[in-house]
Structure 1
Amino acid sequence: MQGMPPAGQSDAPAHDRRSAEDLLALARRGDGEAFRGLVEPYRRELQVHCYRILGSVQDAEDLLQETLLAAWRGIGGYEERASVRTWLYRIATNRCLNVLRAGARRPHEFASYQPEVPFPEPSHRRAEPSWLEPYPDVLLDQIADHTPGPEARYEVRESVSLAFLAALQQLPPRQRAVLVLRDVLGFRAVEVADILDTTENAVTSALKRARGALARELPGPARESAPLPDSPQERRIMDDFTRAFEAGDVDAIVAMLTNDAWLTMPPLPLEYQGVDAVRHFLATVALSDGRRHVLMPTRANGQPAFGCYIRDPRTPILHAHGVLVLTLTGDRITALTRFLDNSLLPVFGLPRSLRT
């Protein structure tokens, strides 16, 4: 049997003329290109599925590759009791759950992070680090149009928002998987039971507990909706924030916040809530001692975001300083999420450094 073709190689025009049944028959006979044509339409949505469960775009890519390799090796045993898409989701979901059960998360350089400037006492301190990472919108745009089933409760944009993902990460792994499969993807209870090798009653029970826990974590329905992506209102907020942040104008930034705004820095478990706490952090840490930044606009999780760079007064080089994502409600900012890991910048097509 020949090896599975690497990502990036495709024979799309030929495969477009073949049915899924033809591709499946050829893949079972060891045709790697036919297998690729069979699974390629689901590649990106499977990666997003792994991302929702794991919270890490880098881990999600690893699990996607494991899923496709397992599918390639197991194609001969695929019995067609479910669609190819459902079969792939079964493999991906169980691979993710195995990783979570084993605690085999990606080693993180910030597990013992020591800041250059001492951080003020946080408003809240989580018991564990947050392994959540931002997901580039440019990858979301590549998802094929598979309309979620009638069971789905969440729109795609809502189901990749940082608030939803952060709340999801607080659920036990199996509840997390059940909620994503049922309420995000719209699989029926009987399908989820088959994917997870359990009973419909167990799925229903896990879903009830997951929904209750998620409702306690997510913002209330009274919040005003965020502006539409790339709308004039959103662009104005981004422009105003960029000017204020690059100028080091703490007062102007604070004036854009809701009273209960949050500032968090995954993976650090420190959280600052409220105008006073955020103001103090910006003044004493992020924008202290005349620090000046340059922000490069991008998008993450359906939200406005920036690649952050800090000026070095001794050289014309701007050094990478993480990714910053804004959560908006109406014309205000309700959360600033600063991801400290500079290795995330290339995922957004941004360089590690800039030259002025």
Structure 2
Amino acid sequence: MDREDFTLLVQRHQHELTAHCYRMLASVEDAQDLVQETFVRAWDKRESIREASAVRAWLYRIATNACLDFLRRRPERSTAPDRAPDGAVPLAASVRWLQPAPENLAAHAQAREATPDDVVIEREALELAFLVALQHLPPRQRAVHILKDVQGWPAQGVADHLDMTVAGVNSALQRARESLRRHLPPNRSDWAASATSEVERDLLQRYVAATEASDITALTALLHHDARCGQQPGASGHQGPNPSYYAGRDNIRSAWAPALEGTDAAVLRLIPTRANGQPAAGVYLWDHDSDEWQAFGLDVLHVRDGLIDEINAFVPEMLPPFGLPLVLPAPGDGGSRGTAK
């Protein structure tokens, strides 16, 4: 098999393999790197594949083992620390390496032969809450759960791919399910990723408008009384070196007020998008010295019963995968509060 034929054979599986590695690692960048490593390993072992129909399962085995090898080399990434017992810690603040995924990853993640029910399961298995819960599983349990419960593989197939016995797979799966029940939100149906809805679109538009208008009253009116807001550790100085979070609408208002009110209040611009099946917005801060909108972060919202239940703020470096630049020129904008929006 020459390289061109090999490339055509394996690249049709690239999107779903990226989603698989993303579930294993919770990082889009690492998932993309591991898929490329999978293709390199597959090229080196290309003589071992005899039937084109077996390529998908063969690639999944290589990709899963590549992820397990990655986690063995990075023990600090193997299992996330437990969140606070009251569940107050938002997702972005609970797993330092968590990265949001652009909507196109979810849209193209499923296998070509997937049924509509398969598509729903796989999309829900890309939501942030589920990804964070997966990171609390030991790597091999994580792999077993993803292959068996998300991909729907038979226990024997999972055992063959992970060099385990069927009894070992079933035991690992039972422990994984028990752990997931502890780390997923109590009412699972409230957290399931959903298709874009009018309620979500309207709420995101009001969130954008209130933030750009620095209207703290309108902004906090969009929040549940027990809402949570969390930030990842900053990678570019916009946020601190440690994750931070606020629990409760009143606490969030107190935290936001200094930045949104007064003569020195920040001037912000938001661009709507979606991440992991949830409404989101790229956030830009007006810089008076450069006359530019500079990337401030990516806010991913979770909506429950028509109000925002959780806001996860990610670092500015997350914007380019969503097609959003780090600097947004504003020709003609003077940078004042009245014109910089």
C-alpha change, 1:245 and 1:189, in structure 2 (3 Å) is same
**Residue 283 of structure 1: how far off its partner (Å):** 2.1
C-alpha change, 1:227 and 1:86, in structure 2 (3 Å) is closer
**Residue 156 of structure 1: how far off its partner (Å):** 2.1
Given candidates 282, 288, 299, the residue that maps to 1:324 is 299
AA in 2 matched with 1:300:
A
Give 5+ residue unaligned stretches, structure 2: 78-87, 234-241, 331-341
* Corresponding residue for residue 209 of structure 1: 175
Do residues 62 (structure 1) and 19 (structure 2) align?
no
Q: Distance in 1 between matches of 2:304 and 2:192?
A: 4
* Corresponding residue for residue 118 of structure 1: none
C-alpha change, 1:55 and 1:355, in structure 2 (3 Å) is same
Do residues 37 (structure 1) and 5 (structure 2) align?
no
Q: Distance in 1 between matches of 2:28 and 2:245?
A: 22
Do residues 76 (structure 1) and 43 (structure 2) align?
no
**Residue 206 of structure 1: how far off its partner (Å):** 1.1
Q: Distance in 2 between matches of 1:308 and 1:236?
A: 18
Q: Distance in 2 between matches of 1:149 and 1:103?
A: 36
Q: Distance in 2 between matches of 1:314 and 1:331?
A: 39
Given candidates 14, 18, 21, the residue that maps to 1:50 is 21
AA in 1 matched with 2:101:
Y
Q: Distance in 1 between matches of 2:76 and 2:6?
A: 29
Q: Distance in 2 between matches of 1:175 and 1:286?
A: 45
C-alpha change, 1:69 and 1:296, in structure 2 (3 Å) is same
On the 8 A contact 1:53/1:176 being kept in 2, the answer is: yes
Matches within 5 A, 1:16-35: 27=1, 31-35=2-6
* Corresponding residue for residue 345 of structure 1: 319
Do residues 355 (structure 1) and 329 (structure 2) align?
yes
On the 8 A contact 1:154/1:184 being kept in 2, the answer is: no
Q: Distance in 1 between matches of 2:54 and 2:13?
A: 12
* Corresponding residue for residue 97 of structure 1: 68
* Corresponding residue for residue 193 of structure 1: 159
AA in 1 matched with 2:205:
D
C-alpha change, 1:153 and 1:45, in structure 2 (3 Å) is closer
Do residues 262 (structure 1) and 228 (structure 2) align?
yes
Q: Distance in 2 between matches of 1:142 and 1:124?
A: 31
Q: Which moved more, 1:189-198 or 1:212-221?
A: 212-221
C-alpha change, 1:346 and 1:184, in structure 2 (3 Å) is same
* Corresponding residue for residue 136 of structure 1: 102
On the 8 A contact 2:127/2:193 being kept in 1, the answer is: no
- Secondary structure of 2:280's match? strand
C-alpha change, 1:215 and 1:175, in structure 2 (3 Å) is same
TM-score by length of structure 1 reads: 0.79
AA in 1 matched with 2:70:
V
* Corresponding residue for residue 147 of structure 1: 114
AA in 2 matched with 1:202:
G
Deviations 1:30-60 (A, max 9, x none): x111112211221110011101110110011
AA in 1 matched with 2:172:
A
C-alpha change, 1:149 and 1:199, in structure 2 (3 Å) is farther
- Secondary structure of 1:297's match? strand
- Secondary structure of 1:83's match? helix
Q: Which moved more, 1:229-238 or 1:162-171?
A: 229-238
* Corresponding residue for residue 245 of structure 2: 271
Q: Distance in 1 between matches of 2:260 and 2:47?
A: 55
- Secondary structure of 1:299's match? strand
Q: Distance in 1 between matches of 2:205 and 2:227?
A: 19
Give 5+ residue unaligned stretches, structure 1: 1-26, 107-122
* Corresponding residue for residue 203 of structure 2: 237
* Corresponding residue for residue 163 of structure 1: 129
Aligned residues: 310
On the 8 A contact 2:124/2:193 being kept in 1, the answer is: no
On the 8 A contact 1:227/1:331 being kept in 2, the answer is: no
C-alpha change, 1:149 and 1:183, in structure 2 (3 Å) is farther
Deviations 1:115-139 (A, max 9, x none): xxxxxxxx65999752000100023
Do residues 183 (structure 1) and 149 (structure 2) align?
yes
Do residues 282 (structure 1) and 256 (structure 2) align?
yes
Given candidates 229, 234, 252, the residue that maps to 2:218 is 252
- Secondary structure of 1:290's match? coil
On the 8 A contact 2:216/2:260 being kept in 1, the answer is: no
On the 8 A contact 1:148/1:186 being kept in 2, the answer is: no
Q: Distance in 2 between matches of 1:246 and 1:171?
A: 40
